[in-house]
Amino acid sequence: MSVLYALIFAIIILILYYPYFKQYQLEGYIITEFAQNFLFYKYSFKGKNRLIFTKRMIRFIGIFAFLLFTISHIVFIFEHSVWMILFYLLLFGILSPIVFILAHIFIYPIEVFIKKFYIARTKKKLHDFKGIKIAITGSYGKTTVKNILTHLLGKKFKVIASPKNYNTPMGVCKTVSCGLDEAQIAIFEMGARNEGDIKELMELIDPDIGVMTSIGEQHLESFGSLTNIIRTKNELVKYMQGQGKIFFDGENENSFELYKKCSKNKALTCNEKGMSFYSDVRYSQRGMTFTMRINDKTEQVQTKLLGKFNCKNIVIAASVARYLGVSFEDIVDRIKTLEPVKNRLELIDMKSFMIIDDSYNANEEGVKESLNVLSRFSGRKIVITSGLVEMGSIQYEKNYILGKEISKSANMVVIMNETNKNAILAGLKETGFPQDKIFYANTREEEIEIIKKINCPGSVILFQNDLPDNYK
């Protein structure tokens, strides 16, 4: 019976720990973050994010369950008093976070070994790969440039690209395992939260072409300063081997400065003095038109994408495609068939009203451009926002400014979560934004109810940065 009782107890604790498993995963399996959030009870028992049962999470839950079962089984074997058993189980339940941490300690060496194994295998596959490897980094625009470039190259080449926004070493491993052998070109996204992250990815991928998009204050909280961010992104330049060519965003000041310092094979895009440039941007509800120049050819192009920064993303990707032999005429034609990336300035016609879904854009540049797009519509304009995060000591200031910017474009605002509520509200108040047009929601359910009340025919609703459940 002791085995059965121990099993029942372990199952009960596992069920109760669902939100903690989810939070542990959202925090990137960082145990210090978990311990801090557990201590201050920063958990959401409801929310939009679900626990994803990855192989890593299954292994962790397995170890945690084993420890729960083993310890409770020992209690049932050596203690026969019902009251003492209940006391020990209650005490054990209270101390179960320690078991959680022990499970992390036990599983950590295994995860390190597994990661090293996959990276070594991937590195060999990439070394043997006969095609062209492209690595894209920057603070903003990586995923969009990757998707656009994949589309522009797709007619001429067999292309494989990292899915979604997979931009870590394990993300590269996943990409390589999905059809590298048949590809002629492999495109990888390189993300970073700490110095040395790009170096690790460069040594793994060893790209033939590098792309530097806009550099800004994204992930400032983990980097500590913009200087550290720029130095980390420059690891693309520092660790580019041989005659590998690097394309720089010439419109972004930080990227342009790295271009000027770069002594390797390089190209400047989105700049009048560079190989490519764009101008005369015009908006409509069907997208945008703008004039694009690459080398000595110029053409007005049309796209379904919205946002001036997407003109830049298109031109950066087009510059790389032209370098790889895609004709200018084919590039112009392919731009017409570009589909908006889901949740990134995606225009959705709901018949009686419009939605601009920019919920996956979490950077300052993107958030401001989404407001610029919104300002070009007529009717009731509603912004749903959680603000900007991971901005370190300047986060309040940035969200205060965001509040002021929102007031220029919107008639109504719904502030989601508590994280940036006070800063955004202060910015709105500074501009005299009507207080009865400001609403607050902490859950998706509350957000939906508010939208139902304030939405009307002809409205345009902008969904900005949709924060995961580890933000409150």
262-313: pLDDT as tens digits: 999 999 999 999 999 999 999 876 789 999 999 999 999 999 998 888 999 9
Q: Label residue 49 by pLDDT band (50, 70, 90).
A: low
CATH 3.40.1190.10 fits 130-336, yes or no: yes
Mean pLDDT of the 403-407 span: 95
Q: Which helix (H) or strand (E) holds 137?
A: strand 132-137
Q: Label residue 43 by pLDDT band (50, 70, 90).
A: low
Phi-psi region of 409 (alpha: psi -120 to 50; beta: other; left: phi over 0): alpha
| pLDDT score recorded for residue 366 | 84
Residue 231 and residue 391: Cα distance in Å, rounded?
17
Residue 440 and residue 454: Cα distance in Å, rounded?
13
Grouping H, G, I as helix, E, B as strand and the rest as coil, residue 187 is: strand
Would the pLDDT of 471 be above 70? no
Side-chain-side CA neighbours of residue 347 (13 Å): 19
Q: Which two tokens stand for residue 11?
A: 């199952």
Q: Which two tokens stand for residue 326?
A: 């895609």
Instruction: Please classify residue 178 by burial: count the beta carbons closer than 10 Å to its beta carbon, then call 0-12 exposed, 13-18 middle and 19+ buried.
Output: exposed
* 407 phi/psi in degrees, rounded to 5: -60, -25
| pLDDT score recorded for residue 19 | 82
Q: Label residue 472 by pLDDT band (50, 70, 90).
A: very low
Q: Label residue 258 by pLDDT band (50, 70, 90).
A: very high
* 346 phi/psi in degrees, rounded to 5: -90, 120
Would the pLDDT of 402 be above 70? yes
Q: Which residues of 95-128 are buried (b: 16+ CB within 10 A; e: fewer)?
A: ebeebbeebbeebeeeeeeeeeebbeebbeebee
Q: From the CB of residue 70, how many other CB atoms can be counted at a distance below 10 Å?
A: 12
| pLDDT score recorded for residue 347 | 85
Mean pLDDT of the 64-72 span: 88
Task: Note the pLDDT tens digit of each residue in 127-172.
Answer: 999 999 999 999 988 999 999 999 999 999 999 999 877 899 999 9
% of the chain exceeding 90 in pLDDT: 61
For the chain, the average pLDDT equals 89
What does CATH list as the number for 346-463?
3.90.190.20
Between the alpha carbon of residue 330 and those of residues 102, 150, 160, the distances in Å are 57, 14, 20
Instruction: Please classify residue 41 by burial: count the beta carbons closer than 10 Å to its beta carbon, then call 0-12 exposed, 13-18 middle and 19+ buried.
Output: exposed
Angle at which helices 18-26 and 31-39 cross, to 10°: 130
Residue 44 and residue 22: Cα distance in Å, rounded?
9
Give the chain's radius of gyration (CA, Å).
Answer: 25
Residues 6+ apart with CB under 8 A from 253: none
Phi-psi region of 391 (alpha: psi -120 to 50; beta: other; left: phi over 0): alpha
Between the alpha carbon of residue 307 and those of residues 344, 454, 472, the distances in Å are 10, 26, 29
- pTM for the whole structure: 0.82
Locate the domains of the chain by residue range. 2-113, 130-336, 346-463
Q: Label residue 469 by pLDDT band (50, 70, 90).
A: very low
Beta strands in 178-336 (DSSP E): 185-189, 209-212, 245-249, 266-269, 276-284, 287-294, 297-303
Grouping H, G, I as helix, E, B as strand and the rest as coil, residue 249 is: strand
Per the model's pLDDT, the better-predicted residue between 46 and 117 turns out to be 117
